[in-house]
Amino acid sequence: MNRTLLDEHFRVKGREKWYTAIEEIQADLDAFMLFYNTQRTYQGYRVQGRTPVQALKDATGKKKLPSLDFCTTSPQPSSTEQEEPSGANTIA
């Protein structure tokens, strides 16, 4: 696990909130990742106080990037809900 994610998110939120469902953890993680990539400035010599989104825009020369709002994405089906391809795992 990324140490920043552990130190700045899980250890903080773990003291503030008792999670009862994976969806709660995912919602908090999504909100943190949005903050981490779009609002939190970095001190590295390459980034020079910019956010990762600002650095990426500068590096690519693009004014707008695709949405990084993880909170609005639809959930992916779990591995038990996914259909198997036809002919897979069939007994002949």
* Each residue's pLDDT expressed in tens, for the chain with a length of 92 residues: 578 888 888 888 888 889 899 999 899 989 888 888 888 888 877 778 888 888 888 888 888 877 766 665 454 444 444 444 444 444 54
**Which range of residues forms the domain containing residue 27?**
3-63
The answer to whether residue 86 sits within a structural domain is no
pTM over 0.85: no
Count: domains in the chain: 1
The answer to whether residue 14 sits within a structural domain is yes
Residue 36: CB atoms within 10 Å = 19
Residue 62: CB atoms within 10 Å = 10
The answer to whether residue 82 sits within a structural domain is no
Helix locations, the chain, DSSP H: 3-5, 11-16, 22-38, 52-60
The answer to whether residue 87 sits within a structural domain is no
The answer to whether residue 34 sits within a structural domain is yes
CA atoms within 13 A on the CB side of 14: 7
pLDDT reported for residue 48: 82
The answer to whether residue 39 sits within a structural domain is yes
